[in-house]
Each structure stands twice: as structure tokens, then as C-alpha cells.
Amino acid sequence: MRMSVPAALAALILGLPVLFTETPAYAAAVFVETNPSTVPAGDEVGLRASCEENLEAAKVESPLFGAVSVTPQYGFLTATVHVPAGTKAGDYPVDLHCPAKPDQKAASTILHVVAKVQPTQGPATGGGGTAPGRNASLMLGTGFVVLAAGAALGVVSLRRRRLG
């Protein structure tokens, strides 16, 4: 398909401003996230953040762990922090402060802390009839009797086949 000269000239004139305007190569996102987002008190949390090019370290703050420096790694700003064991359950803010720039970019998220509970016994998975205890010897004895009876019936049926 051929374009007429006036149409080509109009397309060129309309397209020139696009060539001379500065547009970013990508839309940089400023964010901070925790992994996992819900954690028991006393566990570790991974921080991942992004500030523009991610070439400089930034600062992440929270009432849980104070101020932490997140450093560039694999195209993001990362760090690992420890939630103190005595932390009460609740939602805690986590704020990212990018390096000093004219626009002073920042982001925030919420870290959910739950109480750390240790189980006092195993899960309730049944009556526990096969567990050692007062009925264990009775069950084992019954099992051996059933196996012996099955073996005896097998021997009797094989003998009948040979004789018959």
C-alpha cells in the first residue's frame, strides 16, 4: 500500500514531537513488600523494595525492627529482618524512604504479626487404637491369630487341590 506524499508529510510532521520529547524507558515503580505478609512473632521477614533505578541503598522503617538499609540485589532492594519474639499480635506499618531526591519518593505496606503458638500435643487424628498402650498387646495378638488362620486355610486348600 502506497501513501500519498501529503499524507506521508503530515505523518512526519505529527511524529516529530515524539522523537524530541524525553520519555522514560520504563515506568519505575516505587514499592515495598514483605515476604511473608503475615508472620508469627519471633520469625524472620524478607523485605523487597524498589526506588527508581535501584542503584543506591534505601531505608525501610517500622516500629517492629527500627530502620534497616535495603541494598541493591537482582534488580531490587532487599534485606531480611527479625521480628522480636515478644511482639504483640497486630498490624504494623513498614515504610520505604528512597534516597534523597527532589521528589523524595516513598511507599508503605502493612506487616501482620500473629501470636506464636506452640502445640501442646499432636493432632487429633482418631482413637489411637494402634498406638502402644493398654490395648496394643490385644490388637497385636489378634492380628497374629488372623494371619495364622489365613496361612492354615491356604495350606489346606493347596493340599486339597493336589489330592483331588
Class of domain 25-114 (CATH, top level): mainly beta
Give residue-wise pLDDT tens across range 99-144: 766 566 788 899 999 987 777 777 777 666 556 666 667 778 898 9
- Please state, for a pLDDT cut of 70, what percent of the chain lies above it: 71
In the numeric block, which cell numbers belong to residue 53? 533505578
**pTM value surpassing 0.85:** no
Question: Which sequence spans correspond to the domains of the chain?
Answer: 25-114, 135-164
d(CA 35, CA 131): 40
Q: How far is CA 164 from CA 151, 152, 154, 155, 157, in A?
A: 20, 18, 16, 14, 11
> Environment class of residue 147 by beta-carbon count within 10 Å: exposed (0-12), middle (13-18) or buried (19+)?
exposed
d(CA 61, CA 111): 12
Give residue-wise pLDDT tens across range 67-111: 999 988 888 899 999 998 888 989 999 998 887 665 667 888 999
CA dihedral 51→53→55→57, nearest 10 degrees, is 0
